[in-house]
Amino acid sequence: MSFDYDLFVIGGGSGGVRAARIAAGEHGARVALAEEYRMGGTCVIRGCVPKKLMVFASSYPAAFEDARAYGWNVQPAEFDWVAFRTRLEAELNRLEAAYRSGLKGANVTVFDCRATLQDAHSVRLASGQVIRAKHILVATGGRPFVPDLPGSELALTSNEIFKLEALPASVLVVGGGFIACEFASILNGLGVEVTQFYRGAQVLRGFDDEARGHIAEQMVEAGVTLHCGTDVLTLEKTADGIRVSGTDGSERTYGAVVYATGRVPNTDGLGLAEAGVALGRKGEVKVDAWSQTAVPSIYAVGDVTDRINLTPVAIREGHAFADTVFGARPRQADHDLVASAVFTQPCELGSVGQSEEAARDAGPIEVYATSFKPMRSGFAGRNHRVMMKLIVCADTRRVLGCHIVAPEAGEMIQLAGVAIKMGATKEDFDRTCAVHPTMAEELVTMRKPVRVA
């Protein structure tokens, strides 16, 4: 049986591009890739990268205020959204070009169009062309989910927020996950009046309870009006904006409504089920530890599999797939102890390993925690506090989890993740000399547990 390519990748995001580049550039496979929108996927074009740049932009008002406390004569500043958005688009264009250059350098053939599965070895392009490949990799990522309710078509999602012509005076952010909390913080920092609805009891479900409570308090103190236990009933377009009716009986008009109520795998209309690929309840592609589907020639990586929906995980899955199938180096992506960060303000949340709640259910633990006012913001007269927390197995002394709520917590948790991944014990942390004066030194100076469970 003859094939046009050894591998055909559907989706030009982080996972798909990494798999294509490694398979072609390092292992010599004949590879093609189809992307229907822009190369780089959610992370580069409408997710992590533009969001983090918006985080940076939104942090300056607080920095200007702090500068005055440190003796700088800083004049009142005004944010120019259009200027920022123009610069942001230029940066995304640069990154997309870099992705395309990497594929070209690896001799990957790129089709700028939609591709769907026709059978176990064939894909059909939007042009009607059918291409046969020995292996097919589905890496189509996910998309924002907006529930079906009256007026839901009026809502924005994280996909559209980067394209706004102007910032609204007020916004309602619906959702309590990391995307919702991050955009609530960003818009608040950019001067928008922000209200946030979340139907659950506390935001950031799945993270350590103490840490997420700390984040919620900090967001409220920074100016976000947070309503937990509240959801939207209807949205209605008015002359002044969008009128929102809430389950708490409230009615108010906002300049915009942003939904960040989760994401769903991008599998609709791809022909997966027809080709024999099993899908889960949310439409995710079901795969084994090798990222292989029920059809031996078809694999899937990244958010479309709904395992751990983080860019670095998708990249590792794509790389492991290419090494296994084309490099004679069988290996599986490691999904254990993956660190993550939530870029809220004024403090971020960095987390790796088990929460206190999960660890307590598994066996006896010791909890080491501290909360304090950091030097920089304390000098500037700010009230926000940071939190450091270690979860330790009482039997083995291994550190099971680390949770940091602090400015730049995402930077700190990366190195803590290395230690915990290596199996560090509490005594290993204790033997490490502190770097003074830093916030991170608290991680190695906590000597007595605050709780034993």
Residue 124: other Cβ atoms inside 10 A: 16
Residue 172: other Cβ atoms inside 10 A: 28
3-state SS, residue 280: coil
d(CA 15, CA 319): 8
d(CA 408, CA 415): 12
- The residues, ordered by sequence, that sit 6+ positions from 280 with a Cβ below 8 Å of its Cβ are 286, 306
For residue 145, how many C-alpha atoms fall within 13 Å in the half-sphere facing its CB?
Answer: 13
Exposed (0-12), middle (13-18) or buried (19+): which is 271, by Cβ within 10 Å?
Answer: middle
- Candidates 319, 384, 403, 436; catalytic one: 436
Phi, psi dihedrals of residue 261, rounded to the nearest 5°: -105, 35
Tokens encoding 418: 């290395």
What is the bridge-based pairing of β-strands 170-174 and 109-111?
Answer: unpaired
Q: What is the DSSP letter of 274?
A: G
d(CA 54, CA 89): 12
Phi, psi dihedrals of residue 192, rounded to the nearest 5°: -85, 140
The two most distant CA atoms of the chain are separated, in Å, by: 75
Any idea of the CA torsion for 44, 48, 50, 52, to the nearest 10 degrees? -140
d(CA 430, CA 82): 49
d(CA 196, CA 181): 8
Does the annotation count 436 as an active-site position? yes
d(CA 228, CA 207): 16
User: Among residues 136, 104, 127, which one has the least CA distance to residue 4?
Assistant: 136
Phi, psi dihedrals of residue 394, rounded to the nearest 5°: -65, -25
Sheet holding 170-174, edge to edge: 225-228, 193-198, 170-174, 256-259
Handedness of CA 125, 131, 132, 135 (dihedral sign): negative
| Residue 352: strand pairing partners | 402
d(CA 204, CA 226): 13
- The residues, ordered by sequence, that sit 6+ positions from 373 with a Cβ below 8 Å of its Cβ are 382, 383, 384, 385, 386
- Report the catalytic residues: 436
